Amino acid sequence: MEPKTELTISANALKVLQKRYLGKDADGVVTETPETMFRRVASAIASVNVNPSEREFLSEEYYRFISTLDFLPNSPTLMNAGRPLGQLSACFVLPVGDSMPEIFDTVKATALIHQTGGGTGFSFSRLRHKGAIVRSTGGQASGPVSFMGVFNASTGAVSQGGTRRGANMGILRVDHPDVLDFIDCKLDQTQVTNFNISVAITDEFMAAVREGRDYNLIAPHNGEVTGTLSARMVFDRIAKNAWANGEPGLFFIDTANRYNPTPSRWSYEATNPCGEQVLGPYESCNLGSINLERHATIDSRGETVIDWDKLARSVYLGVRFLDNVVDANRFPIRELSEINQGARRIGLGIMGFARLLMLLGIPYDSEEGLEVAEKIMGFIREESEKTSLDLAKVHGPYPFFEGIGSPKRNSHLLTIAPTGTISMIADTSSGCEPEFSIIWYKNVMDGTHLPYTLEMFEKVARKEGFWNDDLPGLIVENHGSCRGLSQVPEKWQKTFATAHDIAPEWHVRMQAAFQKHIDAAVSKTINLPETATIGDVENSYLLAYQLGCKGITVYRDGSRANQVLNLGGSEKKAGKSLPGWGQRHAPGDLSRGVRVKITGKSGKSYVHLYFDEERRPVEIFVTPAADHRERESAILFGRLGSLALQFGAPIEEVVGQFIKSHEEAGKLGSDPYAIAKAIGTILSKEGLTGESGMVIEVACPTCGGQVAFLEGCLKCMGSKKTGGSCGWSQC
């Protein structure tokens, strides 16, 4: 297989750039090209250099570096560098103190950060537990979970960078008295919807799990022991919930703090929204990723190898670029500027690792694959430290340097962050993740939609003689994978691995292989098959802790089946089909009903879906709470939906109309959308799909395309209907 040699901005990448990155005028008309965007970013980042000749030189170097897609900075840098906003960091951690003024100061700071396009992480572990006495008032504390609702509501009201809502990470220590409430807080998918959550796991807790004993719960405001819990019970509960819907994740807080270069300033308590950046209070992520796929070359024997000289140059430029980002950044509040100038943290990472392995002919889930990961990351670590040490000789070490380790310019150098849309722009695989699929869909001129395969796979298939016109369809039916297809030779089945082909332990081992050489952490999702057990989740947790990972996120395929309704016809057999339609089914035929609590734009309601004796949905009741602001409308939705069902409308068409009315009215958590989600929840629990093959599964909220859970984050992968990804990602 040959690596890419020519730069092209793919049609899909151009669509993503036009939608989210290129400058627009007041009427929303795109005024930039990819070239002028790259020029804008390169010039802005180089402008912090005082020497004019160095500034001019670096501007050209940075332009070449990013315009060839050898490297891309994070989205806020592409969007905001050289523009008035000027906020270039992806994510921040903000402290949450145990008083009303501290809490609401943080809420305000959160809103300002979200407004500039950043995400936020918080530890709620300092808040006193529910029922604890508040000395100043004599009342009782409501606990951390209730205050998460305040942050959640604030986030829902602010669009992130004017394009999407902000992302949050909520963390609570496992020894906090409210830990069980926290673990369960996202079982209801209508609550704290703007948060990912992780439990901060201590060494003491893991020892208690291993020894099968209880551990202490400690009140954060006075250090007193309030009770004990069975460590195994808590561990099982975390795993059970993660098995059910992917949350909570685990943050190994003591492991992270063992590598803290500034322990006199802070202990790490929280991470960014996707779990890979362990940050002190007011620290931020200044991120960029080297495209490894573009660092392969053909040697004199005609074999594909890694171009180590080019990679060394890219590491040097990447460190220089990101160190400049620290100085070019315009932070929305003073504390952020002071802390980030003091620590000068950067996060140089990678993308395209899976594609590189494919070019090398190496399976992702193999010892050789692990060796390549360690060798690459060890090399990047060595070269980045050289550059940071050289910068420190000229400009001095980071101001917070405490004599731990070498006097570098930056407190942290490396991470593997979610590459989200930048990997789409670069047309490569995400971070260190395996490929999600080796087939996508493409629109053609006559309006039809044809599948197209990963270019390098098709090239190999044609060269090796196992390509035929039926192969793409077989791959689609096989969950986007070629493994298990008899017409594909075993060697290539192994080489072209996808996320669902790979056993959980290989996912964890790959994350750990990269973690060995990274001073921050690794954003990676441990993808589990739909058939995985709670025990598989627990084994993944134990292995990640044993191998020194700083955190772990698992996602079982299909486990978020009730999150969003995807109304596109699907071949996936997720459950039993609903019986046929035709005649009217009157409410008098009801046999049973299921109730779900929802929260919409106007308040809380209960949605009841009733079935007849043949399990046909024939009645929708919406019961608004007494303080619901649109009681008549909420009830009307149920009545009209019921009438449609009784006259034979398929349930998916009814739900589709709810969603369309939500989209036309504005996506602010409106009542019809909440009702649609509730119906999806009920159908999923009942194991039912609609007659046209409606599957209750995660779908892109922007284009309705297929969504993958990768790098600790939901990301649009595109669909047959949309003809490729629209560029949406949760992070």
User: Tens of pLDDT along 340-381?
Assistant: 999 999 999 999 999 999 999 999 999 999 999 999 999 999
Q: Taking a C-beta distance cutoff of 8 angstroms, is the pair 524, 416 a contact?
A: yes
| Catalytic option among 12, 194, 269, 276 | 276
- Concerning whether 329 is annotated as a catalytic residue, the answer is no
Rounded to a whole number, what is the largest CA-CA distance in the chain? 83
The label of the residue with tokens 């119906």 reads: 679
In the prediction, which pLDDT does 638 show? 82
In the prediction, which pLDDT does 205 show? 98
- Concerning whether 432 is annotated as a catalytic residue, the answer is no
Query: What are the strands of the beta sheet with 287-291, ordered from one edge?
Result: 71-73, 287-291, 347-351
In the prediction, which pLDDT does 571 show? 38
Residue 267 DSSP class = -
Cα 95 to Cα 533: distance, rounded to the nearest angstrom? 36
**162-176, 480-494, 666-680, range with the lowest pLDDT:** 666-680
**210-214, 479-483, 544-548, 640-644, range with the lowest pLDDT:** 640-644
| Catalytic option among 168, 194, 196, 272 | 272
In the prediction, which pLDDT does 675 show? 84
* Domain over 91-271 is classified CATH 3.20.70.20: yes
In the prediction, which pLDDT does 584 show? 46
Cα 71 to Cα 154: distance, rounded to the nearest angstrom? 34
The label of the residue with tokens 């007011």 reads: 282
Cα 605 to Cα 585: distance, rounded to the nearest angstrom? 25
Closest CA to 519 of 414, 442, 674, 658: 414
Helix H or strand E encompassing 62: helix 52-67
- Beta strand spans in 601-692 (E): 603-612, 617-624, 688-689
**Cα angle at 652 between 651 and 654, to 5 degrees?**
65
CA dihedral 327, 332, 335, 339 (to 10 degrees): -30
What pLDDT, in 10s, does the model give residues 632-649? 778 888 888 888 887 777
Give me the architecture of the 11-87+285-425 domain, per CATH.
Answer: Alpha-Beta Barrel (3.20)
What pLDDT, in 10s, does the model give residues 9-50? 888 888 889 988 999 999 999 999 999 999 999 999 999 998
How many CB atoms are closer than 10 A to CB 59? 19
Cα 261 to Cα 407: distance, rounded to the nearest angstrom? 11
What pLDDT, in 10s, does the model give residues 670-712? 577 788 878 877 876 666 644 333 333 446 766 767 666 667 6
Question: Which amino acid, 282?
Answer: Y
How many CB atoms are closer than 10 A to CB 607? 26
In the prediction, which pLDDT does 567 show? 25
What pLDDT, in 10s, does the model give residues 169-185? 999 999 999 999 999 99
Going from N- to C-terminal start, the domains of the chain cover 11-87+285-425, 91-271, 439-497, 565-697
Q: Taking a C-beta distance cutoff of 8 angstroms, is the pair 514, 353 a contact?
A: no
Q: DSSP per residue over 566-625, as a string?
A: E-S------SEEPPP--S---GGGEEEEEEEEEEETTEEEEEEEEEETT--EEEEEEEE-
Distance of CA 657 to the CA centre of its chain: 29
In the prediction, which pLDDT does 409 show? 98
Please give the residue that has the higher pLDDT: either 451 or 569: 451
Q: Give the residues across from 92 on adjacent strands.
A: 120, 284
**Cα angle at 718 between 351 and 422, to 5 degrees?**
25
Average pLDDT of the residues of the chain: 86
In the prediction, which pLDDT does 1 show? 61
Half-sphere exposure of 298 (CA within 13 A, CB side): 7
- Concerning whether 274 is annotated as a catalytic residue, the answer is yes
In the prediction, which pLDDT does 582 show? 42
pLDDT score of 578 more than 80: no
Helix H or strand E encompassing 296: strand 296-298
Q: In this structure, what token pair is assigned to residue 643?
A: 């009438």
Report, as an integer, the average pLDDT of 238-265: 95
pLDDT score of 273 more than 50: yes
Cα 41 to Cα 111: distance, rounded to the nearest angstrom? 25
Burial of 299 (0-12, 13-18, 19+ CB in 10 A): exposed
Cα 205 to Cα 545: distance, rounded to the nearest angstrom? 12
